[in-house]
Structure 1
Amino acid sequence: MNATSLNSQPNADAHGHTRASRAKAIAAITLGNGLEFFDFTVYSFFATTIGTLFFPVHGALNQLLLAVGSFGVGFIVRPLGGVLIGAFADRAGRKAAMTLTLWLMALGSAMIAFAPTYAQIGLAAPALIVLARLVQGFAVGGEVGASTTMLLEYADDRTRGFYGSWQFVSQGLNVVAGALLGVALSSTLSPEALQSWGWRVPFVIGMLVVPVGVYIRRHLDETLEHAEDVDMAAPVTEAARPLREIFSKHRAALVAGVVTTIGGTAANYIVLFYMSTYAIKILGLPMSVGMSAALVAALVTAACSPFAGILSDRFGRKRVFGYSRVLLVAVIYPAFMMIHAMPTVPTVLAVVAVLGALVAFTAVPNIVMLPELFPQSIRVTGMSIVYCVGVSIFGGFAQFFATWLIKLLDNPLAPAWYLIGCGLVSLLALPLIREPAGRPLD
């Protein structure tokens, strides 16, 4: 089909995408991305059980440290996955890269689902868990850049914030799915059954990402204008070209993007994932309450994300980003004080709901800005590097840092200081970024 016939379709944009095709793309990319993040993040909800079975060290807090530390291990290889899979996406196309990440994510889930425990095979058990997390981290490192870029490339100059917000909606929805499953399992199974086999159920379900994800993404239109046939046997060589361009011509965007990502990713992983563990281990609440807290935070975040994207389209990414992040920094310490002083179910759920809304309004314009910093030929690679570096250190190990600070300072409010520090640092780079809202993407 030629350009004239494409652009003659009703409601078609400059790329020939009709309103209906763009709506289908949002649904396909969001569902597929959510399935992958379900696999990756459900590990967090069962960190206490996994810690007991695979890291039998002395003390419950030490077990938790090792469990959340292994969660963070998956983030170490995110930048590598972002570079290699990002370069593949910038050559072979976004669809090919997202299909590859689906298969890798399913492999990691299978390794965890069927892993023998420490009691069965000794030190090989935690080693297998760590290896599985590395595979999953590598996959997600490439998925985020490819899927976010594809969402923005389906949008026009006035709707990129709204389209890009669905990346964060998909992350929120996967937390909802994981938390609902966690609540169901912890409520219906005995503690013995949950520890024996129940915790494996989410990872078995997560293996379904391959047939479902491949099917729903099969009919997407490729948004890369000049996709090539790339030899997957030499991904490192293929990654060299975009890397040279990024580090020679886009160093300022690279640094600014990483710094702005620090605050949002720290808040995201503390509020959406760590608060459930905090409620169980620090506040002494039942596991079902911890899962419910994660469910409420994720529901609020997913519901608020499209509105955050629309606001960033109307008033600018930087303005929405800046105001919401300052507000989050201001309320995070009082929020932790409140739930520690009144560790009741209504208080915990109300606090995480407020924090979840603030996370949406600060993280959505941030993640939308990242691919807007780079031209199409290196967009996935650039966005992946920026996002993965920031997330790998300050997001993936946020739970470890929070738990370590509690132990070091003997202060249950210590996680709030971590979020405050990350939030303030992330604001420093905002003046270095030109407002991208409303400007042509290419």
Structure 2
Amino acid sequence: MSESLINAEIPGDMSAWWMPFTANRQFKGAPRLLVGAKDMHYSSHDGRRILDGTAGLWCSNAGHCREPIVRAIQSQAAEMDFAPAFQMGHPKAFELASRVAALAPGDLDHVFFSNSGSEAVDTALKIALAYHRVRGEAARTRLIGRERGYHGVGFGGISVGGIGPNRRTFGPLLPGVDHLPHTHDPAKNAFSRGMPQHGAEHADALERIVALHDPSTIAAVIVEPVAGSTGVLVPPVGYLERLRAICDKYGILLIFDEVITGFGRLGAPYAANHFGVVPDMITVAKGLTSGTVPMGATIARKHVYDAFMQGPEHMIELFHGYTYSAHPLACAAGLATLDVYRDERLFENAKALSPAWEEAVHGLRGARHVVDLRNLGIVAGVELTPRDGAPGRRAFDVFVRCYEQGLLTRVTGDIIALSPPLMLKQEHIDEMFGILRRALDSVD
């Protein structure tokens, strides 16, 4: 990293950028600027190394500025910067789709590319509605999400999402949406190691929703296998299997939102592989390119794709897509990222380190302010007692203190989340949890 990057100046005027999911006034009064990155670390504007405890934003699974990925992007930009995806194609798009599908379980064989997790989710919801229509079941228009679910920020995603602040500002959203209860039950499952033992019966709420609305009106159920943005909620033993069985019973499509869990976070290509449950569609993004070039994808089972392949061959089967679907730079980045995952066995590394990660997570039991700990694969949620009258403030102060001590964490409400790059080593785990414990001890 060049010296000019390591010692960058704070911009004189930061007013123009309306920052996303950020307390803009607080940030611009005390900026936290990242100016460089390599492997497991960022560099701050004041010359400090920051251990990346969140893989950027759950996305840099292969680590930062990895040479094979950088070279692939540079080479592609020089060879062909853009190619239209409407009625045209380029070789890397087909190659990447094949490799993404090959990692999935069952007959999840067809890949529709987009530019983000939000777009991947909206794509899946639109495919679900269209699927039933082309099969002659146009009354199936209802979509079922889950409380505390996060499915991006498109109107479809926030409609099926279940995080209050993400929804309340934007009016009534999509009609005909209902929500399953979340699975978090600290009275029975606090400090669970891996999957909680209690709570599979929460899936039975889908039976009540079906009875209320009539199964012939329900198109799809969408859940995160592990709910990430709400603070790492791990599914109870048997829960996902029961959801799958109920969906099968009533002809409802099941969608797994794997924008966070995809590409090794649980030590497998997708959470569907890890849990042994095959949904009808999987949405991915983030780790698909290790965050280097924006890209999302919706992976569909054969019967979903085949339902559209009817009528005259010259007619468009699905009137949906994006200007940047299968962008050449994104495809090049995705192929190189999959190579890094394979060649460096990063999914296997995540699986091998999961027990050590779990021990480190639960080593915080009894630490100051900690009321619950949750983990699965290489992801963790550390829940803190909120301050009276100031929910979220204590966790935010821990987030800032960690940053000052050289660790980037993620904060949501009063929960600290960790999900580092998969090139993780034991020394990184030790450093990460040492800093976090000191930060917990240092805040009121």
| Class of the TM-score when normalised by the shorter of the 2 chains | under 0.3
Higher relative contact order (CA 8 A, sep 6+): 1
TM-score, normalised with respect to structure 1: 0.27
The answer to which structure has the higher helix fraction is 1
